[in-house]
Structure 1
Amino acid sequence: MTPILVFAFFGLMALSVPVAHAMLGGTALALMMDGKPLAVIAQRLYAPTQAFPMLAIPYFILAGSLMMHGKFGEYLVNIARLIVGRFRGGLGQVSILGSVMFGGVSGSAVADASAMGNALIPVQVRDGYPAPFAAAINASSSTVSVLIPPSIPLILFGLVANVSIVDLFVAGILPGLLLAAGMMAMVWYVARRRGLPAAPLPGGFRAFKSQIVFALPALLMPIFIIGTLRFGIATPTEVSVLAVAYALLIGIFFYRDVTPRLIWNALVETGMMTGAVMLIIMASGTIQWILTAEQVPQNLAAFVGTHLTEPWMVLIALNLVMLVVGMFLDLPAAVLLLAPLFVTIGNTIGLDPVQLGLMMVINLSVGLYTPPVGTTLFISMAIARTGIGETSKALLPFYLVAVVVLLAFTFIPALTIY
């Protein structure tokens, strides 16, 4: 069944069928060709959604939506300008630092790319930034959000690979910060060569004090999440509910911008994003059933153990596969499909599953700004009104940063701190 499944899945993807529907279509065709009843799909469709930690996904999305539909986004940009705006390429630096802050609230690269892109790309272009460069900064920096807790892809990896979500959250902080630091250094270098201006926020320290007072309660959310999880006060699911309550309380009593319309918009956005993620999770359950029934993970691990004799060769092979898959599949779908296979292979060389999770998310996040399916790439291009060729060329320095960080976390296990 597996060859039929693979052929049908990629054939449907080539016809621009959505990922989840391509998964279900490929599964149905494989089952019919093998003479098995389609009732298997109905039986396996809901099994992956029954894990209790899965509830954390919609609640974390809702908490981020409540924050970003209010005034927090404006304060976030102002704080970032006050911290890094005085450097060369200040607005580009703001975009990256803003993504770090935004990641601690939303955990979604797509939401980050849309929010930060709409706020900063038009201003950057007016300040003399080439539109492709502005789009490249936004498309690449927004992927920092999928590493800074709370991270939806890390939650999915933890559920599929049976790894502690708390450990993954804590371990995701360092690669997220290193990616951001590398991208900021690259923006400074390019800005210096092209003579791009700084963009300090007027007012100096006095303005910083007034802005930090308003931004601090929301910026404390990731610290609240990690602290609550790390000290065992609550489970990831319970923390996600507390995060929603925290966002509501801040909005009602501190920012005073919570209205019925804001709550409605946040709920609609959460419903749409959760629906898309859950449909992929449900569809992946049917594929995983076929792969498990035909012992694909075990056979693949045996093949790797026979033909790739050194651990470093296995690591290189895993990274290359993930880079290619990330170019064609959205991050959640790729995590759900690859994690069960790669955990089995990783066990053959003693690879820490938390390290594997970081490798996978760093790797697959590159696909978010790589043609032909890069989500944050096309969002940024639409805002900047640029073409794919010129934007991809402007992205080359940021690919270099991502590859350096990826190789570091692949071959230096000590960096995986949790």
Structure 2
Amino acid sequence: MGALMVAVAFFGLLAFGLPVGFAIGVAGVVGIIDMGPRFMQMVPDRMFAGLDLFPFLAMPFFILAGEIMNRSGITMGLVRLADALVGWMRGGMAHSNMVASVMFAGLTGSATADSAAFGNTLVPAMVKGGYARPYACAVTAAGSIIGPTIPPSTLAIIYGSIMGVSIAGLFAAGILPGLLICAICMTVIALTARRKGLPKGAGRPSLRLVGAALKEGFLAALLPVFILGAILGGFATPTEAAAIAVAYALVVGGLVYRALSWRDLYEVAVRTTRITGVIFLIIASASILGWWMTFNRIPQAIAEGMLSISDNPMVIIGLILLLLLVIGLVMDINATLIILAPVLAPLTVQIGMEPVHAGIMIILALNISLMTPPVGACLFVLASVTGEKVEAITRELWPFILAEVTILLVVAYWSDLTLFIPRLLGL
């Protein structure tokens, strides 16, 4: 009865438009009240315990660093570098969008930041260059999920913190999947370029042009290399590296490029606070619901239910992916991760998956949900920024979604590929 009340409370509040963080918290409180009034004292304790993890400090720092780089305009140097490298191909601006997404990912780790930044810059440029606006938005949405896959990834920090998995290992494991997503999306663009009549670039760039673009984008491109080198080399924790990234962004944006005003810094701080506040509210609220689920052995029941269908690891992995993709259609991915990770992670251990492998599989599945209707966050960011309809973007997006689901299956079922870099680095 308690489980039914919690489900009704949660989905009912979502249906009435209550933000997901509040809906999760209220549903958790409903479950605890059903257990007995004496358990209510657990609510503030669980909310605090859910946030009392040192690695969580890395999130606001990485978000702040990305906002500073974006506000100062440094990231446009990356766009020009990407255009110099691949813009000469048919569909060159679409290819440049993908390559720039890889570079931008190392600065923010955020799909919505990628969508907002490129929705304001690359989409209008692509439309001016002869691309249909829905297609330009679809390319941007498809590339945006590279952000939270390639490190620094906010989802990797959350997963590693709550599940006790190496964040450095998750960062390393996200590199190849992120690059594969870029490669397969560029393949989709190349295969459909002639049929869609995509414009062709002006020809191969000269070494001088590439060199000039590399010089312009060098300082921005150096940041992700510096962050990864510090973390994966064992010189800094993710939190320390995130703080250093903020200092680097301030120096480059404020002193080298002189593109930051005090007003910019204020607006960047406000935006970072809002984004971090939303994420932390979801984490704190999900801690209440997660404790209630654990107390009532719901994770064990779900695991036993899946194992009753089949004990074949291949089938179990498929069921996990299906569950994540379906729930991701209708629920915020941060909330989904925080609620389902404690449920699914023990199940992956039972079938013999490495914790880092399981973590990056779960993270990538949820990332794909960012661009799937009806609640894909990147779709709505692009729709609001560009004025394009979500339905029109979605129609152009399906080939990219199918391609990225293919990469998800490769990541899920080919552990040696996924764990190649972590093993190489001894993680």
- Verify same fold: TM over 0.5: yes
Structure 1 match to 2:116:
114
> Partners in 2 of 1:74 and 1:201 — Cα distance?
21
SS at match of 1:323: helix
1:285 aligns with 2:287: yes
Aligned-residue offset at 1:128 = 2.2
1:30 aligns with 2:31: yes
Counterpart mapping for 1:55-74 below 5 A: 55-74=57-76
> Partners in 2 of 1:252 and 1:32 — Cα distance?
52
Structure 2 match to 1:90:
92
Deviations 1:372-394 (A, max 9, x none): 11110112223343333332221
> Partners in 2 of 1:36 and 1:261 — Cα distance?
48
Answer whether contact 2:74 2:253 (CA < 8 A) is retained.
no
Counterpart mapping for 1:293-308 below 5 A: 293-308=295-310
Answer whether contact 1:70 1:258 (CA < 8 A) is retained.
yes
1:146 aligns with 2:148: yes
SS at match of 2:394: helix
1:48 aligns with 2:53: no
Q: Aligned Cα RMSD in Å? A: 1.7
Aligned-residue offset at 1:199 = 3.8
> Taking every aligned residue pair, what percent have the same amino acid on both sides?
36
> Partners in 1 of 2:31 and 2:72 — Cα distance?
47
- Where does the alignment leave 5 or more consecutive residues of structure 1 unmatched? none
1:155 aligns with 2:154: no
Amino acid at match of 1:59: F
Structure 2 match to 1:5:
6
Aligned-residue offset at 1:187 = 1.4
Deviations 1:200-239 (A, max 9, x none): 5997433322221121111111111111112211111111
Answer whether contact 2:77 2:220 (CA < 8 A) is retained.
no
Counterpart mapping for 1:220-239 below 5 A: 220-239=222-241
Answer whether contact 1:56 1:238 (CA < 8 A) is retained.
yes
> Partners in 2 of 1:362 and 1:272 — Cα distance?
25
Answer whether contact 2:10 2:23 (CA < 8 A) is retained.
yes
> Partners in 2 of 1:236 and 1:273 — Cα distance?
19
Counterpart mapping for 1:399-410 below 5 A: 399-410=401-412
Counterpart mapping for 1:5-404 below 5 A: 5-37=6-38, 38-200=40-202, 204-404=206-406
Deviations 1:292-344 (A, max 9, x none): 11122223223333332211110110000000111111221111111100111
TM-score by length of 1: 0.96
> Partners in 2 of 1:383 and 1:357 — Cα distance?
32
> Partners in 1 of 2:139 and 2:16 — Cα distance?
30
SS at match of 2:193: helix
Deviations 1:150-196 (A, max 9, x none): 00011111011110000000110000000011111111222221221
Question: In the comparison of the two structures, how many residue pairs are matched?
Answer: 418
TM-score by length of 2: 0.94
Call closer, same or farther: CA 1:221–1:29 in 2, change over 3 Å.
same
Deviations 1:118-175 (A, max 9, x none): 1011121222212221111111211110111100011111011110000000110000
> Partners in 2 of 1:123 and 1:202 — Cα distance?
20
Aligned-residue offset at 1:61 = 0.6
Query: For 1:412, which of 393, 407, 414 is the aligned residue?
Result: 414
SS at match of 1:309: coil
> Partners in 2 of 1:275 and 1:233 — Cα distance?
29
Call closer, same or farther: CA 1:201–1:217 in 2, change over 3 Å.
farther
Answer whether contact 2:306 2:319 (CA < 8 A) is retained.
no
> Partners in 1 of 2:204 and 2:74 — Cα distance?
19
The range that moved more, 391-400 or 50-59, is: 391-400
- Where does the alignment leave 5 or more consecutive residues of structure 2 unmatched? 423-427
Aligned-residue offset at 1:111 = 0.6
Answer whether contact 2:9 2:26 (CA < 8 A) is retained.
yes
SS at match of 2:240: helix
> Partners in 1 of 2:202 and 2:3 — Cα distance?
56
> Partners in 2 of 1:260 and 1:200 — Cα distance?
40
> Partners in 1 of 2:365 and 2:202 — Cα distance?
33
SS at match of 1:173: helix
The range that moved more, 284-293 or 123-132, is: 123-132
